[in-house]
A and B are shown apart, each in its own frame.
Chain A
Amino acid sequence: MSNVRVLVGTRKGAFILTSDEKREKWDINGPHFGGWEMYHLKGSPADPNRLYASQSTGWFGQLIQRSDDGGQTWEPMNNEFAYEGVPGTHQWYDGTQHPWEFKRVWYLEPSPTDPDMLYAGVEDAALFRSSDGGKTWQELAGLRSVKGHLWQPGAGGMCLHTIILDPGNSNRIFVAISAAGAFRTDDGGESWRPVTHGLQSGYELPDPKAEVGHCVHNIAMHPSRPDVLYMQKHWDVMRSNDAGESWHEVSGNLPSDFGFPIAVHAHEPETIYVVPIKSDSEHYPPDGKLRVYRSRTGGNEWEALTKGLPQSNCYVNVLRSAMAVDSLDSCGIYFGTTGGQVYASADSGDTWMPIVRDLPAVMSVEVQVYHD
């Protein structure tokens, strides 16, 4: 019997939602770490009971929590994220150089094969790795040498929010950073380079085709085709067929190509999902209708998925890490909103239902399938 566990990070704690494989009835467990901002929780693919969580507040800073029993109990791990060497500077809002300062962990990506190995994407933007289950952290500092002095914070901070590990090549990692761009390593994190050719940011950058500075919101990959990447940029939904060497736009008939999350169907590598919002200054769905858009052609041709979603007076947002897919057949899609709802579809997006309606603003959603 398969079970599903949805890990929800909110502005005021974490929640764990569980169901059997039918995904009809859900148990809601939480809040865990009540009152703390939970930017991200994620389970180890190699051991579904091993969970990691990023916990922070403005008062007490950053904590990393680990569970070895599927979220029933938690243990604080090392929370020291020290930049390697002299941290250096990056560009500040006023154009001056500003020292790199650690603020929080936005994203955790456990290794697909080793429960003790994980990566952390942090603000100010940098990538850290732990090979001992979170007891110690080491920066992969080569990333910041890729014109890091030109990176500057966007409205949400200078955050490294997306980490994708190539399942077929342990030396290849993709990361994305707000207002800095997308980057790739092919040597396990020693050296990096921008993978932004084809991105255009005409309204955001003086050079629309600059190597760095693009505001990448999220990237998704299907594990069976690691060279195909999908990107939700600040504006534009983009696709790469060559591991980021070049990108082309696939926004097609979307009502707006601004948004935050993007996800790929678990069994159909050409089926992708986005949640368009109106604009960079109006972070809510067009026309007050909460619509997930699905493309079964890898982009360009999109259909609105609306059954079970509010189609009037809805002005919530879906943040970049707040959409996930499960691996069941048929594929389940999950997303959380800034209004505190977590919606689920057990039929690849055809129909939706709220699992829970009134949580604090949802910052992240991840899903696991595990067996009793």
Chain B
Amino acid sequence: MIKVVLPAHLRTLAHVKGKVELEIEGPVTQRSILDALEATYPMLCGTVRDHTTQQRRAFIRFFACGEDWSHESPDALLPEAIATGTEPFLIVGALAGG
């Protein structure tokens, strides 16, 4: 099972506490994780990536194994530790303060 950590506001919206666990068949990528996330929690559609373009929203970041994957291809394979569920995939609200 893939483990995903959501920002607090999206946990509230999805009515979940702690990490979200997702079953993914095939390659584990940003796109496959977000597809599974939105299929399980449809209220999150449009909050992480744009409905139409599927682009990451500007103030969302994706972290995996201590690395920022936000600017990588959505179809790039994520680290093995994410695919095995050893490490969580982090969806993060970007620093946007002043």
Chain B residues closer than 8 Å to A62, beta-carbon distance? 46
Stretch at the interface among A18-26, A75-83, A203-211, A308-316: A75-83
- Contacts A76-B13, A79-B46, A80-B45; A60 near B51 (Cβ below 8 A): no
B59 touches A58 (CB 8 A): yes
Q: Is B93 an interface residue (CB 8 A)?
A: yes
Looking at chain B, what size class is its interface with the partner chain?
A: 10 to 19
Total CB contacts across the A-B interface at under 8 A: 44
Q: Is A57 an interface residue (CB 8 A)?
A: yes
A59 touches B57 (CB 8 A): yes
Q: Which of B7, B10, B96 contacts A58 (CB 8 A)?
A: B96
Chain A residues closer than 8 Å to B93, beta-carbon distance? 59-60
B10 touches A82 (CB 8 A): no
A59 touches B7 (CB 8 A): yes
A58–B94 alpha-carbon span in the complex (Å)? 10
Q: Is A173 an interface residue (CB 8 A)?
A: no
- Contacts A79-B46, A80-B46; A57 near B52 (Cβ below 8 A): no
A79–chain B nearest beta-carbon distance, Å: 5
B-contact 0/1 string along A48-68, CB 8 Å cutoff: 000000000111111100000
Q: Give the secondary structure class of B's interface.
A: loop
Q: Which residue of A lies closest to B60 (CB)?
A: A59
Q: Is B40 an interface residue (CB 8 A)?
A: no
Looking at chain A, what size class is its interface with the partner chain?
A: 10 to 19
Chain B residues closer than 8 Å to A82, beta-carbon distance? 51-52
B51 touches A80 (CB 8 A): yes
Q: Is B71 an interface residue (CB 8 A)?
A: no
A-contact 0/1 string along B52-86, CB 8 Å cutoff: 10000111100000000000000000000000000
Q: Is A154 an interface residue (CB 8 A)?
A: no
- Which residues from chain A sit less than 8 Å from chain B, CB to CB? 35-36, 57-63, 76, 79-80, 82
> Which 5 pairs across A and B sit closest by C-beta, in order of nearness?
A60-B47, A76-B43, A59-B93, A59-B59, A80-B51
Besides A59-B94, A60-B13, 15 new A-B residue pairs in contact (Cβ under 8 A), listed by A number: A35-B9, A57-B9, A59-B57, A59-B59, A60-B9, A60-B47, A60-B48, A60-B57, A60-B60, A62-B46, A63-B46, A63-B47, A76-B43, A79-B45, A79-B46
